[in-house]
């Protein structure tokens, strides 16, 4: 059995050990398990298309598989997936990989450090400048692939009219773009949650992720899957929204020339 299949077997066993028989809890475990497997697949495809070396392609798959490994213990200990109410799941996952030495028998110490670094930083607001070499490449890869699959999940929720009430509880349904959010996105910066006042602000923040994608493959997938158009279609007809959507379209066009 090759390294990836052995690690996937471990992953399945590890995650399934968190199932309790309680429907709502197990549903969250299953959602995060499926997400991890999807990001693993996204990483494999990106590595192939972007021409990664054989070893880096392997590390990309491993990083995708384990990027959210902290989520399961987070749910068990805190019964939430909201980091600000519990722990930073990237840091938490890196700690689990280090303390349980999960990667020891599969890859070199240096490669394991690169994977763990990517897990630690995959959910950071920005990639730290100090990250270089393989650690940076793995971080860039998993951040792109994580976003691609989060878009899939978000679209399902939006299509069904479901919103994360934990996050959106205090946001107004008024069709309005807050000034802080507008300025941040026009400057190609992710807006802070504290600046979001409306659900429209929250939806717009997902458009800003396009600016944070590292590989042209990821932007091509955004276009080919129609993610950009579907997100645009969820937004109200406002001058600020029109301006932002125009900026985003022009940016994607310029990257894909």
- Burial class for 157, CB neighbours closer than 10 Å (0-12, 13-18, 19+): exposed
Question: 3-class SS at 235?
Answer: coil
As a whole number, mean pLDDT of residues 72-98 equals: 95
3-150: CATH, from 3.30.70.120, 3.40.50.10420, 1.10.3210.10, 1.20.140.10 = 1.10.3210.10
Written as six digits, the tokens of 10 are 């471990």
On whether the pTM is more than 0.85, the answer is yes
Q: What is the pLDDT of residues 216-239, one digit of tens each?
A: 999 999 999 999 999 999 899 999
**Going by C-beta distance under 8 Å and a sequence separation of 6 or more, which residues neighbour residue 226?**
none
Half-sphere exposure of 179 (CA within 13 A, CB side): 0
Residue 209 has pLDDT above 70, yes or no: yes
Q: Kindly tell me the sign of the dihedral angle through the C-alpha atoms of 220, 222, 225, 230.
A: negative
Percent of the chain with pLDDT over 90: 81
Residue 163 has pLDDT above 70, yes or no: no
Residue 9 has pLDDT above 80, yes or no: yes
Pick from 19-23, 92-96, 120-124, 186-190: least confident: 186-190
Q: How far is CA 210 from CA 28, 36, 116, 121, 237, in A?
A: 27, 21, 25, 18, 20
Q: What is the DSSP annotation of 188-228?
A: T-PPPGGG--BHHHHHHHHHHGGGG---HHHHHHHHHTTHH
Domain borders along the chain are 3-150, 164-255
Residue 162 has pLDDT above 70, yes or no: no
Q: Are 142 and 86 in contact (CB under 8 A)?
A: no
Residue 257 has pLDDT above 90, yes or no: no
pLDDT, residue 12, reads: 98
pLDDT, residue 55, reads: 97
Nearest to 229 by CA among 256, 248, 212, 243: 248
Q: Which residues of 6-23 are buried (b: 16+ CB within 10 A; e: fewer)?
A: ebbebbeebbeebeeeee
As a whole number, mean pLDDT of residues 27-42 equals: 96
> CA–CA separation, 92 vs 81, rounded Å?
12
């Amino acid at each position: 059995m090759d390294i990836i299949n052995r690690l996937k077997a471990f992953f399945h066993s590890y995650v399934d050990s968190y199932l309790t028989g309680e429907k709502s809890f197990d549903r969250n475990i299953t959602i995060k398990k499926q997400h991890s497997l999807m990001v693993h697949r996204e990483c494999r495809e990106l590595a192939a298309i972007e021409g990664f070396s054989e070893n880096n392609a392997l590390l990309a798959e491993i990083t995708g598989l384990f990027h959210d490994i902290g989520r399961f213990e987070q749910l068990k200990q805190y019964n939430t997936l909201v980091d600000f109410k519990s722990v930073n799941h990237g840091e938490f996952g890196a700690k689990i990989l280090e303390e349980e030495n999960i990667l020891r028998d599969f890859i070199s110490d240096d490669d394991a450090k690169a994977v763990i670094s990517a897990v630690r930083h995959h959910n950071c607001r920005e990639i730290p400048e100090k990250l270089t070499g393989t650690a940076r490449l793995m971080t860039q890869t998993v951040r792109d692939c994580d976003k691609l699959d989060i878009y899939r999940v978000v679209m399902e929720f939006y299509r069904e009219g479901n919103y994360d009430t934990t996050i959106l509880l205090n946001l107004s349904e008024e069709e309005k773009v807050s000034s802080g959010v507008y300025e941040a996105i026009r400057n190609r910066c992710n807006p802070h949650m504290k600046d979001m006042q409306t659900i429209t602000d929250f939806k717009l923040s997902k458009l800003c992720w396009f600016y944070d994608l590292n590989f042209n493959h990821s932007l091509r997938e955004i276009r080919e899957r129609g993610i950009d158009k579907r997100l645009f279609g969820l937004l109200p007809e406002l001058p600020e929204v029109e301006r932002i959507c125009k900026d985003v379209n022009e940016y994607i066009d310029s990257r894909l020339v």
